[in-house]
Amino acid sequence: MDEEKLIPISALQHFVFCPRQCALIHIERLWTENYWTAQGRVLHQRTDEGTPEQRANLRVERSVPVVSNALGIHGVLDVMEIDTIENTFMPVEYKRGKPKLNNCDKVQLCAQALCLEEMRSVNINRAAIWYWQVRKRSWIDLDENLRNETKNVIRQLKEMFAFQLNPAPIYDKRCLSCSLIDDCQPQALQKDFSERYVRNIYRL
Ligand code: SF4
């Protein structure tokens, strides 16, 4: 598939966090850095550097490009761990914060694994996210629910990109950590959308 038509895996993470943030970044092409995004960027630079390592039967490769033509997605793994005896592959994603209440990181990881499964003709039952804030690896089971959720997000993203949709903002606690809050103006716009909604209902 033409690379320009492939959806970046990072868009899945943004979409699950906030569909409007996803549209601002991937359709409107807006990006603003804040303290948290800068910290995440520096962490990724550190993990992206470094050459492949081999420790006994474990091979560690960094910044590994992956693609799924079947799903129409592509991305880059922070780390791919390979058991060279068992011939198993596992993506490991590095994150600045700590495990989240929503599934945005898990969906991103699952999409990476789905790409690897297609590219290597293997099954991957679990993968891992390393959270910098808690200095801990979280194991993620790639079960049917997570796979279905990930594929559902990809379907919604395809529609969003095809129709260049930019959802209305919903102002809540996610906005407090969002680097795009100044571009998004969620409080002002939400008020505007709410007023228009009421006017439409009562034909004012
Ligand atoms: S400010 Fe809030 S509504 Fe706007 S993109 Fe960020 S999280 Fe979404």
Task: Tell me, yes or no, whether 86 lies in a domain.
Answer: yes
Best residue among 26, 27, 170 to mutate for probing ligand 1's pocket (most ligand atoms within 8 Å of CB) is: 170
Task: Tell me, yes or no, whether 196 lies in a domain.
Answer: no
Task: Tell me, yes or no, whether 160 lies in a domain.
Answer: yes
Task: Tell me, yes or no, whether 42 lies in a domain.
Answer: yes
Residues with CB under 6 A from ligand 1: 18, 20-21, 24, 169-170, 174-175, 178, 180-181, 184, 186
Which CATH number covers residue 11? 3.90.320.10
Task: Tell me, yes or no, whether 175 lies in a domain.
Answer: no
Residue closest to 110 by CA, chosen among 141, 71, 72: 141
**pLDDT at residue 7, rounded to an integer:** 97
Task: Tell me, yes or no, whether 126 lies in a domain.
Answer: yes
CB 101 within 8 A of CB 172: no
Tens-of-pLDDT digits for all 204 residues of the chain?
666 689 999 999 999 999 999 999 999 999 888 878 887 887 777 777 778 899 999 999 999 999 999 999 999 999 999 999 999 999 999 998 999 999 999 999 999 999 999 999 999 999 999 999 999 999 999 999 999 999 999 999 999 999 999 999 999 999 999 999 999 999 887 776 666 666 666 666
Task: Tell me, yes or no, whether 40 lies in a domain.
Answer: yes
Q: Specify the number of domains making up the chain.
A: 1
Which residue's CA is the closest to the ligand 1 atom numbered 3?
A: 169
Residue ranges making up the domain that contains 144: 3-167
The amino acid present at 162, given as its one-letter code, is A
Burial of residue 63 (CB within 10 Å: 0-12, 13-18, 19+) is middle
Residue 54 to residue 26: CA distance in whole angstroms: 36
Best residue among 178, 183, 193 to mutate for probing ligand 1's pocket (most ligand atoms within 8 Å of CB) is: 178
Residue closest to 17 by CA, chosen among 41, 3, 36, 42: 36
Q: 2 CA distance to ligand 1 centroid (A)?
A: 30
Task: Tell me, yes or no, whether 128 lies in a domain.
Answer: yes
Residue 72 to residue 66: CA distance in whole angstroms: 11
Q: 176 CA distance to ligand 1 centroid (A)?
A: 8
Would you give the distance in Å from CA 109 to the centre of its chain?
A: 7
